[in-house]
Amino acid sequence: MSAQSIKWFWFASPQTFFPLAGTLARWCGAAAALLAAAGLYIGFFVAPTDAQQGEAYRVIFIHVPAAWMSMLLYAVMAFWAALGLAFNTRLSAMMASALAPTGALFTFIALWTGSLWGKPTWGTYWVWDARLTSELILLFLYLGFMALQAAIDDPRRADRAGALLAIVGVVNIPIIYYSVKWWNTLHQGSSVSLKSAPTMAATMFTGMIVMALAFWLYSIAVTLLRVRCIIRERA
Amino acid sequence: MNEFLAMGGYAWYVWGSYGVTFALLALEVFFLTKRIRRAKASEATP
């Protein structure tokens, strides 16, 4: 077994992970604040006014990063939940529990900002469109996971029940992602893909990516702080 | 400045998005800080 994998097991123990998580959280939090400031500056002062949507499009700098985070955090949460279920590692289950509130928050933000963006561009705050509906289901999955865990007193049983729900719910992630392709939706298709150049101005794209990085680092910082809190509470 | 705040007539949609987002993130940090303080306190007095 290589030295690398031994190190991983070393940090899989809550006791050794605890101080590392604190240091990482501080750095990620500081970097998130700096990136958010840079992203907001680019979003409001560098990126030009959109030819079709005017200033309303500026919601994009939080809407798209928040929507990405909502799906990514769920995938990461399900990953840790599955790992905890398979190997019975305490820290994995704690990571899943620590991710859920932040994931729910970004899902709500994606829905809220989408709604406020929909009104001036589509003429409505809400439609039962495939993309919007599947994202709403994602919010219910996060809330269901948290409620289920809170309802079970024994933490080990709560972890296992939550893990099952999280794993089953993963099916919703590709549904959200491909909804704009599979169904005729009011929601537009993605402007950014891995296969082709983004169909938007370079400064708009940069602002979006910088904000996405800020949300990433924020999520890491908050999750690590919360996992430290869970370790303390269960000690 | 006023022109910037008006957001070309889309002030409610733009500031409503940004305001709620950053207020919620601040709230999350606030409640997390409270939870950490409570966990530390109960650890100190077992």
For residue A105, list chain B residues with Cβ-Cβ distance below 8 A: 24-25, 28
Inspect the interface and report whether the beta carbons of A58 and B40 lie closer than 8 Å. no
Could you tell me which of A97, A103, A93 has the C-alpha nearest to residue A172? A103
Phi, psi at residue A54, to the nearest 5°?
65, -140
User: Are A50 and A199 in contact, with CB atoms under 8 Å apart?
Assistant: no
Chain mean pLDDT for chain A: 91
The residue of chain B with its CA nearest to that of A63 is B17
Q: In sequence order, what are the residues at sequence separation of 6 or more whose Cβ sits closer than 8 angstroms to the Cβ of residue A166?
A: A74, A77, A78, A81, A82, A96, A141, A145
For residue A218, list chain B residues with Cβ-Cβ distance below 8 A: 25
Amino acid occupying residue A2:
S
First and final C-alpha spacing in chain A: 31
Question: Which pLDDT tens digit goes with each residue over A99-112?
Answer: 999 999 999 999 99
Nearest-neighbour CA in chain A from B2: distance (Å): 14
Q: Is B1 on the interface with A (CB under 8 A)?
A: no
Chain mean pLDDT for chain B: 91
Nearest-neighbour CA in chain B from A4: distance (Å): 32
- Residue A36 clears pLDDT 90, i.e. is over it: yes
Phi, psi at residue A186, to the nearest 5°?
-75, -35
Helix (H, G, I), strand (E, B) or coil at A56: helix
For residue B40, list chain A residues with Cβ-Cβ distance below 8 A: 232
pLDDT band at residue A1 using 50, 70 and 90 as cut-offs? very low
The complex scores an ipTM of 0.93
Q: In sequence order, what are the residues at sequence separation of 6 or more whose Cβ sits closer than 8 angstroms to the Cβ of residue A83?
A: A89, A92
- Residue A4 clears pLDDT 60, i.e. is over it: no
Structure tokens belonging to residue B13? 């949609």
Task: Please state which of the four CATH numbers 1.10.3470, 1.20.120, 1.10.1060, 3.30.70 is assigned to the domain occupying A16-234.
Answer: 1.20.120
Q: How many domains does chain B have?
A: 1
A218, A226, A232: residue with CB nearest B25: A218
Question: Which pLDDT tens digit goes with each residue over A132-184?
Answer: 999 999 999 999 999 999 999 999 999 999 999 999 999 999 999 999 889 88
Question: Which pLDDT tens digit goes with each residue over A50-86?
Answer: 888 889 999 999 999 999 999 999 999 999 999 999 9
Mean pLDDT of A23-31: 95
Alpha carbon distance A169, A75 (integer Å): 9
- Percent of chain A's residues with pLDDT above 90: 76
For residue B9, list chain A residues with Cβ-Cβ distance below 8 A: 54-55
Nearest-neighbour CA in chain A from B13: distance (Å): 5
The angle subtended at Cα A80 by Cα A74 and Cα A84, nearest 5°, is 140
Q: Is B29 on the interface with A (CB under 8 A)?
A: yes
